[in-house]
Amino acid sequence: MRLSQLAAFVFSLIFIAMAVQAQQQPGPGAQPLASPTPTPAPLPPPTVKIDAYRGAAARIIGAALTSDRAYSRLAHLTDTIGNRLSGSQNLERGIEWAVAEMKRDGLDNVRAEKVMVPHWVRGEESLEMLTPVPRKLQVLGLGNSIGTPAEGISAEAIVVRNFAELDRLGEQVRGKIVVYNAPYTNYGATVVYRLQGASRAARYGAVAALVRSITPVSLQTPHTGAMNYDPNQPKIPVAAVTIEVAEFLQRMNDRGERPTLRLKMEAKFLPDAESANVIAELKGSEKPDEVIVIGGHFDSWDVGQGAHDDGGGCIVAWETVRLLKELGLRPRRTIRVVLYTNEENGLRGGNAYRDAHKAEIAKHILAIESDSGVYRPEGFGLAATAPSQARANMLEIAKLLSGIGADQIASDGGGADIGPITREGVIGASLDVDGTHYFDIHHTPADTLDKVNPRELALCVATMAVMAYTVADMPESFGGK
């Protein structure tokens, strides 16, 4: 999931609302109306002195770009262990492997912190058109969906482009399968059909729902992802279809044809399973109780290999501390890697981390999440709520990354797994990468290792390591407290 994009969307709505409000207030005298874009407050001067870190940054970047450890570990995780849905044996095998390897790396305080996770299983699934022409259609159930009866659900399909069309049809969808054919605009705006589509159709009596995959492009690639049921509506099964299938059904719908579909899904929940957040540290030399936490989510969907989402993000955080240790760069504060479990369909790992570390939350200096794929890094997104001193320091430290083009600090950032601790006041940030192709393969059978460029992965490691090391080592306070 990309919470940061959702957050950016929400923030943009807030800014628009603020701008509208500003325009409604009477302007001062005959002066023109204020620009709707709020002028950012000037930043204080940075307190970090980056000249002291140029040598370390050069060594880190050189080492990251000449090591194949990150890629070879990601290859083991994706090829030998495979995808890692919560509750699966693969995920637990992956956790055991990571703990053993981190100990072999000589990292500090390596441990698995137990987390109970939901255990959703997909089972077999299929979608067929029965009339007017029998045809098999590609389908991929949405995570957390219920299944269908064994004989499937057979009903007429009715296609809508958005919720407004659904609401206009209202009771006309009773007994039918609602197909949402909402074209992708951006992730945050389009993912609502995946999250809410089933319950909003069930409200009018629909018996199942199909959602056009949340993606800008498709080569018959269906995208799964989590959905949520509104507790006040009946639960109906819901699955993703490809753009090709959604457009095919739309064309039939627009010609007045009323195809009959049969959806079969075995999806169900088993009892909660035991899993864990994996933790390893590079213990600080002077202020070991002050923590910079970096990480990604170790679980993935049950299709593809979870290579970009988010095996790569986990490996970037892990390799950051392994590389610093290898280089003998032990910072003043502790850098802690967390490989969170169950981000995709529950967020139990992120919540469990907050609960298990409540007593030391105030000592968390910064939390960085890498969950946007491991493409060419552009820099970081720093939470809009971050103190201006933190922003000034991050912008300054990012200058150490200008040589590899990763020196941008975006006006907002964060992540799903660090959400629980950032809501407790920890400064949050995301590793930002070139997102041009992330949503082409996100949550699909095509999220596999061949989509990962080894050099771009190494650049992500370099970017994360330079930022984490400098924040952890700078003698001054990062956030200005």
- Of 147 and 414, which CB lies nearer to Zn ion in the complex structure? 414
Tokens 């407290």 map to which residue?
481
Of the listed pieces 215-223, 234-242, 307-315, 462-470, which binds Zn ion according to CB under 5 A?
307-315
**Is 313:296 a contact under the CB 8 Å cutoff?**
yes
- Rule CB under 5 A: which of 433-472 touch Zn ion? none
Q: Which of 281, 290, 302, 310 binds Zn ion (CB under 5 A)?
A: 310
Choose among 78, 64, 4: nearest CA to 456. Answer: 64
In one letter, which amino acid is 477? S
Q: Which 266-295 positions form the footprint of Zn ion (CB under 5 A)?
A: none
Tell me how far, at minimum, the Cβ of 471 lies from Zn ion, in Å.
Answer: 23
Q: In the window 84-123, what residues touch Zn ion (CB under 5 A)?
A: none
Q: Which is nearer to Zn ion, 393 or 430 (CB)?
A: 430
In the residue annotation, 343 being an active-site residue is answered as yes
Q: Which 8-state DSSP code applies to residue 226?
A: B
With CB under 5 A as the contact rule, which of the stretches 5-13, 180-188, 303-311, 418-426 interacts with Zn ion?
303-311
Query: Least separation, in Å, of the C-beta of 329 and Zn ion?
Result: 29
Q: Do residues 240 and 179 lie in contact, with contact meaning Cβ atoms separated by under 8 Å?
A: no
In angstroms, the CA 15 to CA 206 distance is: 36
Measured from the CB atom, the residue of 222 and 225 that comes closer to Zn ion is: 225
Identify residues 135-164 at the interface with Zn ion (CB under 5 A): none
Give least dist CB 313 to Zn ion, A: 7
**Shortest distance (Å) from residue 339 CB to Zn ion:** 12
Ramachandran class of 127: left when φ > 0, alpha when ψ lies in -120 to 50, beta otherwise: beta
**Which member of 309, 369, 412, 417 binds Zn ion (CB under 5 A)?**
309
Return contacts of 49-54, CB within 8 angstroms, 24+ apart: 49/474, 50/396, 50/397, 50/399, 50/400, 50/470, 53/397, 53/400, 53/466, 53/469, 53/470, 53/473, 53/474, 54/400
Q: In angstroms, what CA-CA distances link 255 with 71, 132, 144, 408?
A: 50, 13, 34, 49
Applying CB under 5 A, which part among 30-38, 178-186, 205-213, 305-313 lies near Zn ion?
305-313
Minimum CB distance to Zn ion smaller for 313 or for 379: 313
Q: Which is nearer to Zn ion, 314 or 427 (CB)?
A: 314
Give me the phi and psi of 213, to 5 degrees please: -55, 145
Task: Tell me the chain's radius of gyration from C-alpha atoms.
Answer: 24
| Cβ closest to Zn ion, residue 141 vs residue 373 | 373
Stretch that binds Zn ion, among 127-135, 216-224, 304-312, 462-470 (CB under 5 A): 304-312
Q: How far is the CB of 303 from Zn ion (least distance, A)?
A: 14
Amino acid at position 170, single letter: G
Stretch that binds Zn ion, among 10-18, 327-335, 365-373, 377-385 (CB under 5 A): 365-373
Whole-number Å distance between alpha carbons of 420 and 429: 13
Min separation Cβ 91 and Zn ion, Å: 14
- Applying CB under 5 A, the site for Zn ion has a residue count of 3
Site string for Zn ion, 369-388 (x = CB under 5 A): --x-----------------
Active-site entry in 343, 344, 369, 396: 343
**Residue 42 in contact with residue 448, Cβ under 8 Å?**
no
Q: Are 440 and 65 in contact (CB under 8 A)?
A: no
Q: Which is nearer to Zn ion, 302 or 371 (CB)?
A: 371
Instruction: Judge residue 126's burial from the number of C-beta atoms within 10 Å of its C-beta, 0-12 exposed, 13-18 middle, 19 or more buried.
Output: middle
Q: Please, are residues 191 and 223 in contact by the beta-carbon 8 Å criterion?
A: no
Taking the complex as a whole, how short is the minimal distance between the CB of residue 310 and Zn ion, in angstroms?
4
- Judged by the rule CB under 5 A, the positions of this chain that interact with Zn ion are 309-310, 371
Q: Give me the active site residues, please.
A: 343
